[in-house]
Every structure is written in C-alpha cells, then in structure tokens.
Amino acid sequence: MDGGIEGDILSACEINEAHTLWMKKMQRSLSEKREFKHWKLQSGLNRDEKYLWRCKGRLGKASIALMTKHPIMLDKNHHLTTLIILECHSKVMHNGVKETLTEFSINCCNLLSLTVTNEYVYEHMFCLERFTRFLK
C-alpha cells in the first residue's frame, strides 16, 4: 500500500494523523499571540511527542488517559475550537453548559473554557427547548 486512502474508509491511524495535523495548525495561531508566554507559565504548557502543546494538570500521577491528564491547549478564537465545543454539545444531547463543559474538558484545555463553552451552548440552547416542545 502506498499510504493512500483505500475506498471511502479511513483507518484509525489516518484519523489520528488528521486530528494531530488540525491541532498543530490551530496551535500555530495560539503560539503567535502576545499572551502565549503568560499562558505557558500559568498552565504549565509543554510539548508532547507529536509537538502539541498540552496543559500540565493536577492529575499527572493518576492512572488515567494521557488526554485527560494533560489536555491539548486550544485557541478559544479558532474555528476548530467552536467545532469541538459543538461536537461535545451534541454528544451530551444538547443538555446544557455543565455537561458540555465536562465532555469538553476530558480532552481539551482552554484557559477560558467555561466562558467559551457557555457562549457557544447559550447560542444553541434553543436545541433543548425545541426538543422538549416536540416531545409534549
């Protein structure tokens, strides 16, 4: 095989590689911000083996997944962050900020995650209201 995509099916390896590339692209804009040095100190940002910026959390010695121990740093103003939050909002079945934030924080680190998540979920709160009215 020459590394190309066979048919319409992507392998887990190809999906993980695409995820890493998107995160690197998003983080390029993050490291260009003037506040980056402050964020680096505040969150204990370090690069992992794939050169992604990760937050150093309080769970460093816990026996849990790397993504949860050291979540990937996201740029709150990047469109990819919006898509990730909306995906989390859908995964928790449009059930509000608290659930969305919990899902979001499992894999991602954002200095203003509550504020950012609250903004996006608030915009989509009509989802739950409309669904509730539909069930009645």
Integer Cα distance of 117 and 107 in angstroms: 14
Q: Residue 44, SS3?
A: coil
User: What is this structure's pTM?
Assistant: 0.69
Which pLDDT score, from 0 to 100, does residue 126 have? 52
Q: What is the pLDDT of residues 30-87, one digit of tens each?
A: 878 888 888 888 888 889 999 998 888 666 777 877 777 788 888 878 888 888 888 8
Q: Quick one: CA dihedral 126, 88, 119, 77, positive or negative?
A: negative
C-beta pairs of 13-17 under 8 Å, 24+ apart in sequence: none
Integer Cα distance of 28 and 75 in angstroms: 9
